Amino acid sequence: MKTDKKEFRREAIKQRDSLSAMERKEKSSLVIKRLMTLKEFRDAAYVMSFISFGSEVETNALIQYCLDEGKQIAVPKVIKADNEGKRLIAVRIGSMETGFKAGSYGIPEPTETEGRIVQPEDLEFVVVPGVAFDTKRFRLGYGGGFYDRFLGGTRKSCMKAAVAYECQVYAEIPLEAHDLQMDCVITESNIY
């Protein structure tokens, strides 16, 4: 299974990388527009979203929208916990421009966490990245298990919304028992 996932990830990322910058931009804007129409998103006061990296669906406009709308918006940061390995935390941000630095895996993260850590139970809506999804809303990530563990700590009422391009949705993907199902997967042409 580990090798199945590894191979699948490589192929799926290659697929996503093959979209042109223009295609990504256009599709991302459709995905984000679709997400913004969801009642669960409009009603959410505490939102978390990943900061896009590489060929992922672009979330900058969404994060800026949350800031403008006065929603509490948090972004992920990987930290080294004392007793365990690395894990994901949610850090509240006040603007898009300042204080981000490439963290583990080269992904932009806020540096300042003092007084800004949001507990997973407080989140109402989480925008989740991913490498591949199936039509039943299961997810293949980058292989750290970060989101599987983090999302396990959110409330049942918290909406776990993945964003992806349609080319990332497959009939079947390699899965293990700990892989979480999303509440929805939003693409430029569908909501699963």
Ligand X SMILES: Nc1ncnc2c1ncn2[C@@H]1O[C@H](COP(=O)(O)OP(=O)(O)OP(=O)(O)O)[C@@H](O)[C@H]1O
Subset of 160-179 contacting ligand X (CB under 6 A): 176, 178-179
Least spacing, CB of residue 62 vs Mg ion, in Å: 23
Q: In the bound complex, which residue of the shown chain has the CB atom lying closest to Mg ion?
A: 179
Least spacing, CB of residue 6 vs Mg ion, in Å: 12
Which residues make beta-bridge pairs with 109?
101
Sign of CA dihedral 163, 44, 150, 134: negative
User: What's the angle, vertex CA 5, arms to CA 12 and CA 11, rounded to 5?
Assistant: 20
**Residue 144, interface with ligand X (CB under 6 A)?**
yes
Q: d(Cα 88, Cα 110) in Å, to the nearest integer?
A: 13
Do residues 133 and 162 touch, judged by C-beta distance below 8 A?
yes
Report the partner that residue 149 touches, choosing among ligand X, Mg ion, none (CB closer than 5 to 8 A by kind).
Answer: ligand X
Q: d(Cα 191, Cα 182) in Å, to the nearest integer?
A: 11
Subset of 113-132 contacting ligand X (CB under 6 A): none
Q: What is the CA radius of gyration of the chain?
A: 16
**Residue 23, interface with Mg ion (CB under 5 A)?**
no
Report the partner that residue 91 touches, choosing among ligand X, Mg ion, none (CB closer than 5 to 8 A by kind).
Answer: none
**Residue 54, interface with ligand X (CB under 6 A)?**
no
Do residues 152 and 179 touch, judged by C-beta distance below 8 A?
no
Report the partner that residue 76 touches, choosing among ligand X, Mg ion, none (CB closer than 5 to 8 A by kind).
Answer: none
Subset of 156-185 contacting Mg ion (CB under 5 A): 179
Write the CB contacts of 68 (distance below 8 Å, at least 6 apart in sequence): none
43/176 with CB nearer ligand X:
176
17/112 with CB nearer ligand X:
17
Residues that bind ligand X (CB under 6 A): 5, 140-149, 152, 176, 178-179
